[in-house]
Structure 1
């Protein structure tokens, strides 16, 4: 069971094939047509829609600690609330390239936009796994 970013990195390094990690950073937003109840829930930290704002792919060695990844995300000027992470396995001891990650990344972003997030690991801004209900 992966409950933190550190767990993810350890698990990815223990895989038989080299890995490339896909990161989609999202901001929680309230739709313009939200009801008063939805607005109240959102103010309590519940509900809303997740909008992808940053996408990046890295090998585990390129992103060994969460703090460095968060710091890099800050340089974009985009605020975010949750990051979704997926892993791609390589072949023959080689991690997939950034070019090979492009299509899966695009599919991941679209999946998140549609609310289909169960295939991804969601982490909060501290690097801890979160449950999205």
Structure 2
């Protein structure tokens, strides 16, 4: 199943045989200090930059009604973000993963985003549409 909107991710997570926990890393876009003049110009036009993880959270699928709910919760932290990366953590033997179970996978997601590795993650823009990076 190809996911193009956040609501499709929620539907897919709820439809799995094993309970899921959704993992989210919100990332901003910054211009590196060593950016070239060309990179600075592109960044001023809204292109380029480096993704910087700012905050993360895990949720059971039934804790979210929609993308708007997630966005409203994120707004409480006052961080400007450009993309939210999503992944799912599957439970076993009908046992849903807990927030404690999600800590290490969330840390790995943050590290991967810092390294520019997005394999296995679905990035969504601020309107809840999946985007392609690169």
Shift of the alpha carbon at 1:37? 0.6
1:104 equivalent to 2:105? Answer yes
Q: Secondary structure at the match of 1:61?
A: helix
Tell me how many residue pairs correspond in the alignment: 133
User: CA RMSD for the aligned pairs?
Assistant: 0.8
Which ranges of 4 or more aligned residues in structure 1 deviate by more than 6 Å? none
Long gaps (5+) in structure 1: none
Q: How does 1:2-17 map onto structure 2 within 5 Å?
A: 2-17=3-18
What is the TM-score normalised by the length of structure 2?
A: 0.96
Shift of the alpha carbon at 1:6? 0.6
Aligned to 1:46: 47
Tell me, in whole angstroms, the C-alpha distance in 1 between the residues paired with 2:121 and 2:42: 24
Long gaps (5+) in structure 2: none
Tell me, in whole angstroms, the C-alpha distance in 1 between the residues paired with 2:36 and 2:6: 35
Aligned to 2:30: 29
What is the TM-score normalised by the length of structure 1?
A: 0.97
